[in-house]
Amino acid sequence: MVFKKRQSHGFNNLHFPSVPKAPRSARRAFHKRIVEDSQICAFELLASLAGKLLQESESSSASSNASDANDRPAISDGVVKREQVETKPVKTECLDLGSCEESIFLPDYGSPSSDSRGSLNEIPLPAESDAILERYSTVSNSDSSEKGNSDVKPIQGEKAPKLEGVPPVTVEPCDEKPENGVGSQPLADGMETQGLILDNACSSKDPMKSCLRNPALINSDNTAIHLSHGNSLPRASDLKHGNGVKLGIRDDDENIFRFNKLSSRRKAFRPSSRIGDRRIRKLLSSKYWKAAPKLKDYELTRPLFADLGMKPLHHKRKLSCNPDKTQGDILYKRRKFSDRSVVIASDRGFSGESVCNSPEKGTSGDNGSAVLCYGGFLFVVKLLVSVKLNIKSFKIPELFIDVPETLTVGSLKRTVVEAVTSLLGGGLRVGLVLHGKKVRDDNRTLLQTGITSAESLETLGFTLEPNSVQAPVPLCSEEPHAILPCETSHLISRSPETTIVESLKLIDSPRLAPSPPTNQVDYNSETTDQEPLSSNADIVADNKSPSDSKALVAVEPASAEALAVVPLNQKSRRSENVQRRTRRPFSVSEVEALVQAVEELGTGRWRDVKLRSFDNADHRTYVDLKDKWKTLVHTAQIAPQQRRGEPVPQKLLDRVLAAHSYWSQHQAKQHTKNAAAVATATATATPTVLQITDGQAIEA
DNA sequence: CTTAGGG
DNA sequence: CCCTAAG
């Protein structure tokens, strides 16, 4: 409560937005103003701290790493020391701000409620992050002192030890829009609070503006932009940087994207408020998300994390693998690309690193870069002659795919494609944001719109939204929003919300392993490529994705149902949750085992067949075996050309027909396989083999 | 729970 | 593979 009030005040009174954008000098001024303003409380404190930090950082870093320094916000307060140490390293290594270092480990989401905040504390952070925390803490303290609240801490009752102070900051959006989630989101991280505050302030008025401002963390280059979704606001550190501010783009409809500069720091996120939610939902089978509801405030705002984390947890079948791990591990990384364009990806640790390669740090300063936010992705767009979007990369965060062992690589690829396609299937709608405002008039020229200089370009942003409108689904529908953020030189942090899917993940189907075929053939042989696939997937994965990306959560389309991703119109789908089992075509060895069992046991004793030859194959039920036999018989009766799938040796098909014929006549049911034959002749004697019609022998 | 079949 | 009616 308190927080909110504070924040609100601060917001109302202060106009943060402008600050970020402004050049450093301006910013400073800004923060000064803030300080002056008596009304502001925590906010002020924060601002002042930020200002100090900025100054300090600037002084310290300015000389040496100008560009780099800029990138990373350093919020140093008393903490400065650390920053220096830590920050610098980071910069160099990661290139962007924090891409690597920044990555943050998220706590498990398993516990929805506690997660964001509580987790923060708990979560081990990289050194840097720690520094950050401290910083915040300091801030918060000061803040608290004013209020005298220690209470502030847990925003939502959660405990965020370190951050506590911060949380208050988190405050809600100034006003009205709880929806944004901004308010609700509170602190997903303590980290963000500061930034949040700003955002909120901004948001209240004009989301877009706020976005821009906040985001403003731009790097010296201008190009760099930080996007944050939802609540995240620029932090003090952020403020510090920016030369140029970039824009943020927000989602008109619901939320606003804020830039986070924090990305590095933030650990948690909040997803964009609703957006995240909406977007996220369906891809995953509702199952995954079920838990989500539990999440309270956070959930809304930071769908991403939650989603990420949550999904796995909820996943019914396949999760066994270790969803948790992924969830818990989520890392956000920022990555830059050499060009200026930076791609931020949050990773869970999978592939993230790969991206880091690009060495550049925030070099450039290109002028005409714009940031694209699409579902959680940031794209850096460069304006060339006129307006061209130069999208360096588009990454899809995480795809959760349930892969049966038998799935082929090709199938996996198709699955991924389908998942992505389904996400973006509706096409993308591009929106243009200049200086935080949407440019709706499509007929105006760039000149008329004011997009002429590199500077203006800096504030130019694009929004990508899925064309298809999905009805929000309570659970989590599959729809994803992909956000593509772009950033020029700096890294971009991926917006929390979007993060939902960060990497491609393959989830093994339940029974992988061993296939201990009872006796016969190993029908399990198929399990072949999963790993490879998974690895591939991971590689792909590192992106982060934005809300949309959430959607990305891939589902296995045809082959695996595990995740059934439901595309847009799923409503038609059967009851949501019911996932269809992943399809696992019978291998030849399985067919052989089945044939043999049927030869011996006859049809109509499927349970026995199961026990006899497929007892270890948990995924093959006797119904499945019965069905397979049915299809085998059918297959054997049709022309080879009409057969599909893995070809079954004619020999086996012949046996199928023979057994089918035989048992049809003898009514398998009568136990004793040999009933018929046996019966007559030689029951006692020795008949072990029966001649079947076509000459096939059956053991008696 | 199993079978047997249709979907 | 799913769903279900029948045993």
Q: For position A666, what pLDDT does the model report?
A: 77
User: What integer is the mean pLDDT of A51-72?
Assistant: 38
Of A231, A241, A238, A298, nearest to A262 (Cα)? A238
Check whether residue A612 has its CB closer than 7 Å to nucleic acid strand B: no
Which residue approaches C2 most closely, CA to C1'? A580
pLDDT tens for A191-227 read: 322 322 223 333 333 333 332 333 333 333 332 223 3
A261/A270 Cα distance (integer angstroms): 13
pLDDT band at residue A660 using 50, 70 and 90 as cut-offs = very high
Output the distance from A603 CA to B7 C1' rounded to whole Å: 21
Nucleotide nearest to A604 (CA to C1'): B3
**Nearest nucleotide from residue A585 CA, by C1' atom:** C1
CA of residue A647 to C1' of nucleotide B2, angstroms: 30
Q: What share of chain A is helix, strand, coil (3-state, %, to 5)?
A: 45, 10, 45
A235 touches strand B (CB under 7 A): no
Residue A63 burial (C-beta neighbours within 10 Å; 0-12, 13-18, 19+): exposed
Asked whether residue A615's C-beta has any atom of DNA/RNA strand B within 7 A, the reply is no
Neighbours of A111 (CB within 10 A): 16
pLDDT score of A406: 58
What is the predicted pLDDT for the residue at A625? Answer: 95
State whether the beta carbon of A561 lies below 7 angstroms from any atom of strand B. no
Give the model's pLDDT for residue A606.
94
Give nucleotides in strand B with any atom < 7 A to a protein C-beta.
1-7
Residue A392 has pLDDT above 50, yes or no: no
Q: How far is the CA of A509 from the C1' of B1 (A)?
A: 25
Distance from residue A451's CA to nucleotide B2's C1', rounded to whole Å? 72
Nucleotides of chain C touched by protein CB (<7 A): 1-4
Tell which residue, A147, A175, A176, has the closest CA to residue A167: A147
- Provide, rounded to the nearest whole percent, the portion of chain A with pLDDT above 90: 10
CATH for the stretch A588-699:
1.10.246.220
Q: Where are the domains of chain A?
A: 1-577, 588-699
pLDDT 10s digits, A450-461: 555 555 555 555
Measuring alpha carbon to C1', the residue closest to nucleotide C3 is A623
The arithmetic mean of pLDDT across residues A292-317, rounded, is 30
Q: Indicate yes or no: strand B within 7 A of the C-beta of A43.
A: no
Q: What is the pLDDT of residues A83-113, one digit of tens each?
A: 333 333 333 222 233 332 322 222 333 333 3
Return the exposure string of A21-54: e unless at least 16 CB atoms fall within 10 Å of the residue's CB, then b.
bbebeebbebbebbbebeebbbbbbbbbbbbbbb
